Structure 1
Amino acid sequence: MAVRGAEGQRESGWRFLLRALAHRNYRLFFMGQSVSLVGTWLTRVATSWLVYRLSGSAWLLGVVMFCGQIPSLVLAPLAGVLVDRWNRHRLLVVTQVLAMLQSFALAVLALTGVIAVWHVGALCVVQGLINAFDVPGRQAFVVEMVEDRADLPNAIALNSSMFNVARLLGPSVAGGLIAWVGEGGCFLMDGFSYLAVIASLLAMRLTRTPRVEPHGEVWKELKEGFRYAYHFTPIRALLGMLAVMSVMGMSYTVLMPLMATRVLEGGPSTLGFLMAATGLGALGGAGYLASRRSVRGFGKTIVRTGALFGAGLVAFAVSRWVGVSLVLLVVVGFGMMVMMGASNTLLQTIVEERMRGRVMSFYAMALIGTAPFGSLLAGALAARIGAPATIGVGGVVCLGVAGWFGVKLPALREVVRPIYERLGIIPEVASGMREGASRMGPAKD
């Protein structure tokens, strides 16, 4: 089918970039979650600022982040088994309602002036428990919202875009809102924002999909999931790389209040701008992923953007000017987003459906569950060698693990190519249009 004129080409391009939104259920989720995530980022920035304002301690910043993330490490594998057994739609409604109540609890404590660091830590544990089930459930549910599997990579990329638009908007206004309504006001707005995603979930019309009945004990299925992920080399390599990147690289966000105040000599607004710069770069990365017509070449993309992420962190660590730091964080955000999004897409497309919940729980464990140790390590190192040096060390390690993945890539490619050909998940693309799911091309990664 020919496309006439530049206007037609632009229209076709936009439709291609947003093709997952043609699915009604996914479109509802996208709109509701977009609102909710802005509130989530308000709370993230406000929580970091509140803990630092109350304690002035880099160590306690790391401890509080640890409290919010450790449940994902402990419970995510078990949650993955249950996600494969339970109704994922119903699970997400429950987790979103509980997360809303947690935000309201933070708001009440902050607005009444009785909040202490231990309150924040305890409620972060509650949120971590919720996330242990919500993250793998949300990742696995994408397949049920997008009926055409060929649109799955685009849906994952749009999820990343949604997350990073929120990362851009939330922190950019958080500094002003903290100064205007305080941390409690930010928590209150976050609580109300959950109503949007809850309403979108309730408005969905879902076709009941046949679910494999549990055939054994939970612990046996958990062991089966671990065995599957460990012996499937591409999944093992991707999860290992993400775990190291999370521990050593992504914990830089814990130290942002110190970088904003002590290194760059700013305040809440500076912190908001720094976080927003990361979001801007990540948004660009998500747009790049959405523009991809297939998963071909994602292996090399992961290597290059993982290295870019590490190099950006090293450069940010030595910067002492706000303007330069903002530019570098755009680079960091781009590299981080593309590396994570491409990894997520590869995992989602090669995993067996019966193992999807468990593998995505391992993904959550690698990306979020290991982060508590990164938070503690970042806090401890920053107390000894300073925040800039800590971020620089993390960047060097990220460069190293990107190189390691690059060395492993040829062997991983040989394993993945026949799987893609057998499953038929890479439709050929010609003249900007899909020719049909029945015609499949060879995969390189």
Structure 2
Amino acid sequence: MVRCGVGAVNIEAPDAVPVAMPALPSSPPDRDPYLAFRHRSYRLFFGGRLLFQVGNQMQVAAIGWLVYERFGTTMALAYVGLVQVIPVFFGVLPAGHLADRLDRRKILLVSQSIFFCCSLALGLLSLLGGPPVWMYPILFVMALGRVFALPAVSSLVPLLIPRESLANATTWTSTLIELSGLIGPALGGAIIAFSGSATPVFFLTTGCALLCIPLFASLPLREQPGLTAGGVAGVSWEWDDLLSGFRFILKNRLLLAAACLDLFATLFGGVMALLPVVAKDLLHAGPEGFGWLRAAPSFGAVAMAVVTTHLPPWRRSGRVLFFAVVGFGLAVIVFGFSTSFWLSFAMLVLTGVFDNINVVIRQTLIQYITPEVMRGRIMAINFFCVGTSNELGAFESGLAARLFGTVPSIVLGGVGTFLAVAAVMRLSPGLRRLGPLHEVKAIPHL
């Protein structure tokens, strides 16, 4: 994250690329909780994304159910995660590169079409009782399409709405993702329970994907910098160009500090991988209690997102960011020691609250500070860091639980979050002084 406000002092190293310079003094924009929705383009985008996310979350639940039903082993579920994470490692850099060189809307439409075809294939495979091993190549192709879609989608919003609406749009987009995380799995599970099969879920997801295509195709975009009249810029596959996003982040230490803060909080403070153990063995809550605990962070995140849209802009965004990560770590520690179901539930709700603050500030800052010509590459790296930190965090939690026990591993994770905050605060005091986000200006592409 980058902090810049009026009167900010350049405290970075002399050889660093200048971080976001403060804009001219200005009063905070009027707080309209629904500012982003005043624009038809964002309404279309939000509707399409909500359809897609709910359908995708339903399908995730159906895939897990079908794989375990057909194979009957936990390793089969592990392979589902493996085939979907492989495309991230070799596809994320080209995906971000193409998002800056090609029409982002067209990339989104192609990716959406791939998702539609793969969902239809899964539905037919389930309906006809085909060999279940065919699911894995289908999931691989679907994941590959998603890798190329995410940088384009994340970079699309600034082309839909004015700059002053970006913060509000970021908050509502995070709300959308959390809502879909609540609605999708519950709806998918209900359909499977009612029908006794995952097949209807796949076809319903196919319908959602199909409805998204005309919504995305009708998005009115402002001109995307760097493209010719045909919607294509010169595409170079030189490593220097592919890695320019990494160099941009590394040379802007405040942005790097914000990314590290989120990365280590997710890596050390992730407790979701251990929830089945906590619910069953420590809280004796059973499947129903596990479901409530699993949904708790989303409840907190949605509530905080709605509250944030009605609050004035943060005047000291850097301090708010640090307090949010500290609060996240503290909630994790209390959760680790808790033997009460409702105290554990409340702590997980708080992790969602604090995580939402972190996500909104960090994502808004990235949108403000990134030059338009590099937005796709920066978003691709952000997607890579968030995705891999979640997976590595789950591995770290499982390994620590095996070595030290469930409770110590959770508590140590919260302590690790505190240590990460202390280190980042010491190494990047500029992030601590980050002011109102609407005053941050984009860094020139050097």
Name the TM-score, length of structure 1 as normaliser: 0.79
Q: Is 2:249 the partner of 1:234?
A: no
Deviation at 1:242, TM superposition (A): 2.6
> What amino acid does structure 2 have at the position aligned with 1:220?
D
Q: Is 2:373 the partner of 1:354?
A: yes
Separation in structure 1 between the aligned mates of residue 242 and residue 348 of structure 2, nearest angstrom: 38
Alpha-carbon spacing, 1:167–1:19, altered in 2? closer, same or farther (3 Å)? same
Between 229-238 and 103-112, the greater mean CA deviation after superposition? 103-112
**CA deviation string 1:303-347 (max 9, x = no partner):** 122222223233334445543333222112112222122111111
Aligned to 2:178: 164
1:271-282, aligned counterparts within 5 Å?
Answer: 271-282=290-301
Between 76-85 and 45-54, the greater mean CA deviation after superposition? 45-54
Among residues 124, 145, 153, which one is paired with 1:138 in the alignment?
A: 153
Aligned to 2:387: 368
Separation in structure 2 between the aligned mates of residue 214 and residue 177 of structure 1, nearest angstrom: 47
Alpha-carbon spacing, 1:407–1:225, altered in 2? closer, same or farther (3 Å)? same
> What amino acid does structure 2 have at the position aligned with 1:22?
R
Q: Is the Cα contact below 8 Å between 2:225 and 2:373 reproduced in 1? A: no
What secondary structure is seen at the aligned counterpart in 1 of 2:220? Answer: coil
> What amino acid does structure 1 have at the position aligned with 2:105?
H
Equivalent pairs, count? 408
**CA deviation string 1:157-189 (max 9, x = no partner):** 110111112222223444434433344443433
Q: Is the Cα contact below 8 Å between 2:87 and 2:140 reproduced in 1? A: yes
1:32-431, aligned counterparts within 5 Å?
Answer: 32-48=48-64, 57=74, 64-112=80-128, 122-146=137-161, 148-181=162-195, 182-211=197-226, 213-214=233-234, 216-250=236-270, 252-261=271-280, 263-265=282-284, 269-294=288-313, 296-381=315-400, 390-412=409-431, 423=441
More helix by percentage: 1
Q: Is 2:40 the partner of 1:24?
A: yes
What secondary structure is seen at the aligned counterpart in 1 of 2:32? Answer: helix
> What amino acid does structure 1 have at the position aligned with 2:441?
L
Unaligned runs of 5+ in 1: 1-12, 426-445
Separation in structure 2 between the aligned mates of residue 397 and residue 123 of structure 1, nearest angstrom: 38
> What amino acid does structure 1 have at the position aligned with 2:265?
M
**CA deviation string 1:322-374 (max 9, x = no partner):** 43333222112112222122111111111122221111111111111343333
**CA deviation string 1:245-279 (max 9, x = no partner):** 333334x4344445455555566544443332221
> What amino acid does structure 1 have at the position aligned with 2:365?
L
> What amino acid does structure 1 have at the position aligned with 2:43?
R
Separation in structure 2 between the aligned mates of residue 418 and residue 346 of structure 1, nearest angstrom: 10
What secondary structure is seen at the aligned counterpart in 2 of 1:17? Answer: coil
> What amino acid does structure 2 have at the position aligned with 1:154?
N
Alpha-carbon spacing, 1:73–1:394, altered in 2? closer, same or farther (3 Å)? farther
**CA deviation string 1:196-218 (max 9, x = no partner):** 32231122233444425438544
Q: Is the Cα contact below 8 Å between 2:333 and 2:414 reproduced in 1? A: yes
What secondary structure is seen at the aligned counterpart in 1 of 2:243? Answer: helix
Deviation at 1:61, TM superposition (A): 5.3
> What amino acid does structure 1 have at the position aligned with 2:322?
V
Separation in structure 2 between the aligned mates of residue 282 and residue 417 of structure 1, nearest angstrom: 23
| Backbone CA RMSD of aligned residues | 3.4
Separation in structure 2 between the aligned mates of residue 75 and residue 322 of structure 1, nearest angstrom: 41
Aligned to 2:26: none
Q: Is the Cα contact below 8 Å between 2:369 and 2:442 reproduced in 1? A: no
Aligned to 2:24: none
> What amino acid does structure 2 have at the position aligned with 1:357?
G
Between 350-359 and 373-382, the greater mean CA deviation after superposition? 373-382
Between 188-197 and 326-335, the greater mean CA deviation after superposition? 188-197
Q: Is the Cα contact below 8 Å between 1:175 and 1:272 reproduced in 2? A: no
Separation in structure 2 between the aligned mates of residue 303 and residue 97 of structure 1, nearest angstrom: 40
> What amino acid does structure 2 have at the position aligned with 1:289?
T
Separation in structure 2 between the aligned mates of residue 322 and residue 418 of structure 1, nearest angstrom: 38
Deviation at 1:280, TM superposition (A): 0.9
Separation in structure 1 between the aligned mates of residue 136 and residue 342 of structure 2, nearest angstrom: 33
> What amino acid does structure 2 have at the position aligned with 1:372?
E
Deviation at 1:392, TM superposition (A): 4.1
Separation in structure 2 between the aligned mates of residue 149 and residue 78 of structure 1, nearest angstrom: 27
Q: Is the Cα contact below 8 Å between 1:282 and 1:330 reproduced in 2? A: yes
Deviation at 1:101, TM superposition (A): 2.6
Deviation at 1:24, TM superposition (A): 1.0
Separation in structure 2 between the aligned mates of residue 176 and residue 190 of structure 1, nearest angstrom: 14
**CA deviation string 1:21-70 (max 9, x = no partner):** 1111111111222222222222334445566675564x765554344234
Name the TM-score, length of structure 2 as normaliser: 0.79
Unaligned runs of 5+ in 2: 1-28, 228-232
What secondary structure is seen at the aligned counterpart in 2 of 1:16? Answer: coil
Separation in structure 2 between the aligned mates of residue 270 and residue 158 of structure 1, nearest angstrom: 29
**CA deviation string 1:67-99 (max 9, x = no partner):** 423432432222111110010011111112212
What secondary structure is seen at the aligned counterpart in 2 of 1:211? Answer: coil
Alpha-carbon spacing, 1:384–1:123, altered in 2? closer, same or farther (3 Å)? farther
What secondary structure is seen at the aligned counterpart in 2 of 1:423? Answer: coil
Separation in structure 1 between the aligned mates of residue 326 and residue 425 of structure 2, nearest angstrom: 10
Alpha-carbon spacing, 1:37–1:418, altered in 2? closer, same or farther (3 Å)? closer
> What amino acid does structure 2 have at the position aligned with 1:159?
T
